[in-house]
Amino acid sequence: MIDTAEGYAGGKSELEIGRVFKKLGYRRTDWIISTKVSGEHLLRRWEVSAGTIRHQLRSQSNHYYLKGKVRTTLASAGSKYLHTDQIAQVEIVRAFNHVINTGKAFYWATSEWSARQIEEAFHIADELKLIPPIADQCQYNAFHRQRFEVEYKPLYQKYRYGTTIFSALASGVLTGKYNNGIPDDSRFANNADFFKNTVDSLTKEEGLEKIRKVKELTALAEKELGCTVSQLALAWVAKNPNTSTIILGATKPQQLLENLKALEVLPKITGEIYQKINDILANDPKQD
């Protein structure tokens, strides 16, 4: 599976995927390609007012833009169809129904929508006899739990709503690589402007507390499970029955191979180990 978006590298990500598929002779049917459409990207790309963007996104006629964007993505990636993964607003349920019915996507989903917005999408789909979303691409990790574990809980129960997890390692904080500062050849160092707020937060009380917890989790992982803290963190996310799939944001082949070893750790996350992890985290989300 490849997750991309029109906004990644100014659209070059989609072009690169198409180039690589063609060069390596990959069969399209062997891969899932998901993409995202973002109102924020529209704002940056065409430099129009936020009010105009909001108006366009709220307009039912905006589905013509989305259908056009899907055609552009298909051309960029050199593909006849894709697995459209995310969109921006509830009002375009009709548009993605059309996209699916015309064979340009198999499913559509949401990304970081509130439970209320997702519920509304289901109501619209039901009322108009259209296809509802199937999953949300949401942030979930040991330090970010509220939405996934509490807010979305009714959606899991009512709709069997799926999830595609991003930032399972909290932008690398849960790898332990930032326990003693920012290494030169790290994501935070190489993208200093983008991660400036995150890096600054690690020097404050809350950030230092996270580092302390990562060190405790590291000791638990190494002594009791024989794995790295990264593998423990990924296995912890995968252990949740409402996790459908996890996006691995590896920047090097070796990182990907190491991350995949989390599958070997997964069966070791017993009830006792899970409780030990929870005791270290001490951040059970508040129930609504």
**Residues involved in catalysis:** 8
SS3 238: helix
Distances (CA, A) of 219 to 132, 170, 203, 255: 44, 18, 22, 20
Q: Which residues pair with 163 in a beta bridge?
A: 136
DSSP state of 144: B
3-class DSSP string for 116-140 = HHHHHHHHHHHHHCCCCCCEEEEEC
**Which position has the token pair 């180039």?**
19
Asked if 233 and 141 count as a contact pair (C-beta separation under 8 A), the reply is yes
What type of residue sits at position 193?
A: D
